[in-house]
């Protein structure tokens, strides 16, 4: 584990954040989580693009140019010696006495990063997980990867209390995404997922499934809204996220999904995703 804070490496958990940091008071900031595999960042350019998009939306000035940000990621991998793990990056708006409105000109963003190894056996996720359904109670811009994750935290905690891996969220009867992931359904061999609008986070794993993995595997995909009934009749369901990749859901609300086993389309896509991860992607 290696931790970075505003230009230097510090002890993990070091007390260096001001109490007046807007990240601390308001959750006023953005973040990214990038997978490190075989000693390299996977799909770094995708994460970088999403980070800068989140910052533009939030009106947080970019102080570190893309080349330096990439180099910092590489240095953290090198210095930590971690080859299989992830890098968390958080940028908050900066430090000033608490007041809702901010003064962009006066603020210097705070940057915090760490690299940690992945210790759990992720291959176990391939056996499939249980999920529960919950209402999506978040704001109308979850496409921005902000630190404000209260509804996600509450949903994930509810799921874990019920011994589920995570929650599938529904807004006005429509399946949006997972508490910490995106959601795909398979029906009659066709893959479905919610369009990448402002009601879901445009997950990088989702994006790679849509643009690379599904086309390579010859699986047709439709990005459109689908409802609870569609989910209940789906042959297969899965989550996608940076750490777990493609995670089959074999039970939803204690009912089996399809025949209750990991389905063939999910398996094929998992294989394709793992191949892409092993090959690496800039
Ligand atoms: N949706 C939400 C709400 C998330 O928190 C995440 C990741 O943590 C995702 C989707 C998946 O995004 P990615 O594939 O970029 O990890």
Return all residues near 21 (Cβ < 8 A) that are at least 6 apart: 92, 94, 95, 110
Ligand 1 in contact with 146 (CB < 6 A)?
Answer: no
Ligand 1 in contact with 201 (CB < 6 A)?
Answer: yes
Domain with CATH 3.20.10.10 in the chain: 123-279
Averaged pLDDT for residues 6-30: 96
Instruction: Quote the tokens at residue 31.
Output: 């973040």
Share the mean pLDDT of the chain: 98
pLDDT digits (tens, 9 = 90+) for 52-106: 999 999 999 999 999 999 999 999 999 999 999 999 999 999 999 999 999 999 9
Which ligand 1 atom is nearest residue 200's CA? 1
Instruction: Quote the tokens at residue 233.
Output: 């009749």
Q: What is the pLDDT of residue 205?
A: 99
Res. 36 pLDDT band, cuts 50 70 90: very high
pLDDT digits (tens, 9 = 90+) for 205-255: 999 999 999 999 999 999 999 999 999 999 999 999 999 999 999 999 999
pLDDT above 70: percentage of residues in the chain: 100
**Active-site positions?**
145
Domain with CATH 3.30.470.10 in the chain: 2-119
Structurally, at CATH architecture level, domain 123-279 sits in Alpha-Beta Barrel (3.20)
3-state SS, residue 74: helix
Q: What is the pLDDT of residue 86?
A: 98
Q: What is the pLDDT of residue 73?
A: 98
Q: Does the predicted model carry a pTM greater than 0.95?
A: yes
Tally of CB atoms within 10 A around 31: 18
Fold held by 2-119: D-amino Acid Aminotransferase; Chain A, domain 1 (3.30.470)
């Amino acid at each position: 584990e290696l931790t970075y804070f505003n230009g230097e490496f510090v002890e993990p958990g070091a007390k260096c954040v001001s109490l007046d940091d807007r990240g601390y008071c308001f959750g006023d900031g953005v973040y990214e989580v990038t997978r490190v595999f075989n000693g390299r960042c996977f799909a770094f350019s995708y994460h970088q693009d999403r980070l800068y998009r989140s910052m533009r939306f939030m009106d947080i000035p970019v102080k570190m140019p893309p080349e330096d940000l990439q180099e910092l990621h590489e240095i953290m991998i090198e210095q930590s010696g971690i080859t299989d793990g992830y890098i968390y990056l958080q940028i908050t708006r900066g430090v000033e006495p608490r007041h809702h409105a901010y003064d962009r000109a006066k603020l210097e963003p705070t940057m915090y990063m760490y690299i940690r190894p992945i210790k759990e056996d992720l291959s176990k996720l391939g056996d499939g997980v249980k999920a529960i359904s919950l209402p999506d109670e978040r704001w109308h811009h979850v496409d921005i990867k902000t630190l404000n994750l209260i509804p996600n935290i509450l949903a994930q905690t509810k799921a874990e209390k019920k011994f589920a891996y995570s929650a599938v969220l529904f807004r006005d009867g429509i399946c949006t995404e997972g508490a910490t992931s995106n959601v795909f359904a398979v029906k009659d061999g066709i893959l479905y997922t919610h369009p990448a609008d402002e009601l879901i986070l445009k997950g990088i794993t989702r994006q790679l499934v849509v643009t690379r993995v599904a086309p390579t595997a010859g699986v047709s995909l439709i990005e459109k809204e689908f409802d609870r009934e569609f989910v209940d009749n789906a042959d297969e369901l899965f989550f996608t996220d940076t750490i777990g990749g493609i995670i089959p859901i074999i039970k939803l609300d204690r009912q089996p999904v399809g025949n209750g086993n990991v389905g063939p389309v999910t398996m094929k896509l998992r294989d394709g995703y793992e191949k892409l991860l092993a090959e690496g992607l800039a």
